[in-house]
A and B are shown apart, each in its own frame.
Chain A
Amino acid sequence: MKIFIKRLLFLFVVMGIWQLVYVSGVFPDIAFPSLILVFESLFNGFTNGDLISALLASFRHLFIGLSLAILIGTALGVLLGKSQQADETAGMYLVALQSIPSIVWVPLSILVFGFTEFAVIFVVVLGGTFVMALNVRSAIHSVPPQLVRAARTMGTSGVSLFYRVEIPSSVPYFMSGIRLAWAFSWRALMAGELLSNGPGLGYSLRFAQDYARMDQVIGIIIIIGVIGAVMDQLVFSRLEKNVMKRWGLLKS
């Protein structure tokens, strides 16, 4: 609880300084709105439903895109992890693709799919797939050979070995893959939406920029930051930690 109070106090201090700078009038109002205005625009955005529909749209894109990324990434990762041929042939390109920032895919996606929601989803899929595939590949490679040997002496081999030993043994790395895929997809989503024709949080952000509404811009940035932090800390990191503990990879 003490940590919580420290963090809260810090937040109040930052807000206080903000408000002081605003009152001092050093910056024009258009570049530096008052905090009250920011909260007001957030409040209005939620009450008139604009922000809620934008949020729902963003979550729809993310859900579809991330699910596809996890599915495709897992399939690719298993293929590369199990087949040395495939890994030697295509593994390097996967690393190369992973290093491309997702915003780079936006023009390509828009040219192929037009200004549609699917163009955004496509960018999200590309954002998450490669990192997922790379993690699943390492997950398969990291199955301890000792466990495989032990299982073989117990008469387990082939498909049954894959399901009963290799998959469960990979779960912790798989979870890291999902957390990273989420993080990359979330960033890709914002990049895609910023350049799309909506709906979505990213689109609302650009809309606010077009109308020079700094209060809305900051409000939306706050929402994006809060969602990212909450999802990562409360959902994915926690899930990953629990699995690691359960698998004995982390001291409980």
Chain B
Amino acid sequence: MFLEVNNVTKSFADKDRESFEVFSNIDLAINENQFVSLLGPSGCGKSTLLSMVAGLESVTEGTIQLDGENIVKAGPDRGMVFQQPSLFPWLNVKENVMFPLKQSISKQEASDRADHFLKMVHLSRFKDHYTHELSGGMQQRVAIARALAMDPKVLLMDEPFGALDEQTRHILHKELMKIWQETQKTILFVTHSIQEAIKLSDRVVVMGTRPGRIIADFQVDLPRPRRRDDEQVIALERKVMDLLENEIDKVLKEELSHENLH
């Protein structure tokens, strides 16, 4: 398997209480060139798991392997796109895309590569602009170009379109599909939107909460582009929804009983 999460546990040490376990014994194997979504309610640890693959969070137990190698720290073989664009405001658009390339390749090469990926996200015209002059959707496209410019083995996306309006999100979905088909990247995509997960992915991994765990794994063998009103899409949405409703109920009940105790 290309990306392998083996029996991974994550717990945070709490100052005054015993350590808090986010999830335990997670197993997940992902093929090369696959588009996989991690879907789940807030608190299930999906973003934490993604950060662990990125190497930003430590692994408490178990191993994560990419292309046969253990992940111990963050590195340019895993590009990450965050919910916030996280661009550097003191650099212009092109310099932002060139940022990860400066250490490894020549300036000319870096410049060419930045141009290539800015063209891919349709931002060539804006390469001399500063990032705060761009809209949220454009900033997120720069972030995608920047991650792709490193030519990572896997692209990790942490609710990348969560902060955008509906229209912009729709446009970026289309662009991401195009980019994915063009670059043949392996993509691990975290979202809490069922529709988004089904619309984009080859495979939807559903996570539950308290304790965090994988509760279902759907292959989505539907032709692209997928329409929201397609019957098969709706059927799958319903199925996932039912699964998640149980989880959300559980969270609500727990929060309510906690409330009553005080």
Verify A152–B132 contact, CB threshold 8 A. no
Total chain B interface residues with beta-carbon distance under 8 A: 27
Q: A153-B79, A154-B100, A155-B103 are in contact. Are A247 and B86 (CB under 8 A)?
A: no
Q: Chain B residues with Cβ under 8 A from A248's Cβ?
A: 89, 130-133
Verify B88–A147 contact, CB threshold 8 A. yes
Verify B78–A146 contact, CB threshold 8 A. no
Q: Return 30 A-B CB contacts under 8 Å, by A number.
A: A144-B86, A146-B82, A147-B86, A149-B56, A150-B80, A150-B82, A150-B86, A151-B99, A153-B54, A153-B74, A154-B100, A154-B146, A154-B150, A155-B74, A155-B75, A155-B100, A155-B103, A155-B150, A156-B100, A156-B103, A157-B74, A160-B103, A168-B90, A169-B89, A169-B90, A246-B90, A246-B130, A247-B89, A247-B90, A248-B89
Verify A154–B89 contact, CB threshold 8 A. no
Q: Could you count the A-B residue pairs with CB atoms below 8 Å apart for me: how many are there? A: 63
Residues of chain A in range 65-97 having any CB-CB distance to chain B below 8 Å = none
Q: A146-B82, A248-B132 are in contact. Are A152 and B89 (CB under 8 A)?
A: no
Shortest Cβ distance from residue B91 to the other chain A in the assembled complex, whole angstroms = 8
Check: B136 CB closer than 8 A to any chain A CB. Answer: no
Bound Cα distance A140, B54 (Å): 25
Shortest Cβ distance from residue B189 to the other chain A in the assembled complex, whole angstroms = 15
Check: B43 CB closer than 8 A to any chain A CB. Answer: no
Of B86, B147, B156, the residue contacting A146 (CB under 8 A) is B86
Q: A149-B56, A160-B103, A248-B131 are in contact. Are A155 and B76 (CB under 8 A)?
A: yes
Bound Cα distance A157, B133 (Å): 28
Of B86, B146, B147, the residue contacting A149 (CB under 8 A) is B86
Majority secondary structure, A binding face: helix
Q: Chain B residues with Cβ under 8 A from A147's Cβ?
A: 86, 88
Check: A171 CB closer than 8 A to any chain B CB. Answer: yes
Shortest Cβ distance from residue A123 to the other chain B in the assembled complex, whole angstroms = 35
Bound Cα distance A136, B84 (Å): 26
Binding site for A on B (CB under 8 A): 54-56, 73-76, 78-80, 82, 84, 86, 88-90, 99-100, 103, 130-133, 146-147, 150, 156
Bound Cα distance A82, B133 (Å): 31
Bound Cα distance A152, B74 (Å): 6
Verify A168–B88 contact, CB threshold 8 A. yes
Q: Chain A residues with Cβ under 8 A from B56's Cβ?
A: 149, 152-153
Total chain A interface residues with beta-carbon distance under 8 A: 22
Bound Cα distance A197, B54 (Å): 65
Q: Chain B residues with Cβ under 8 A from A195's Cβ?
A: none
Residues of chain A in range 141-182 having any CB-CB distance to chain B below 8 Å = 144, 146-147, 149-157, 160, 164-165, 168-169, 171
Q: Chain A residues with Cβ under 8 A from B146's Cβ?
A: 154
Verify A146–B90 contact, CB threshold 8 A. no
Closest to B83 in A: A146
Residues of chain A in range 176-192 having any CB-CB distance to chain B below 8 Å = none
Residues of chain A in range 116-149 having any CB-CB distance to chain B below 8 Å = 144, 146-147, 149
Q: Chain A residues with Cβ under 8 A from B131's Cβ?
A: 248
Bound Cα distance A248, B89 (Å): 6
Bound Cα distance A149, B81 (Å): 11
Verify A146–B84 contact, CB threshold 8 A. yes
Q: Chain B residues with Cβ under 8 A from A150's Cβ?
A: 80, 82, 86
Verify A165–B88 contact, CB threshold 8 A. yes
Verify A149–B130 contact, CB threshold 8 A. no
Closest to B91 in A: A168
Bound Cα distance A169, B131 (Å): 14
Bound Cα distance A156, B103 (Å): 9
Q: Chain B residues with Cβ under 8 A from A157's Cβ?
A: 73-74
Q: Chain B residues with Cβ under 8 A from A151's Cβ?
A: 99
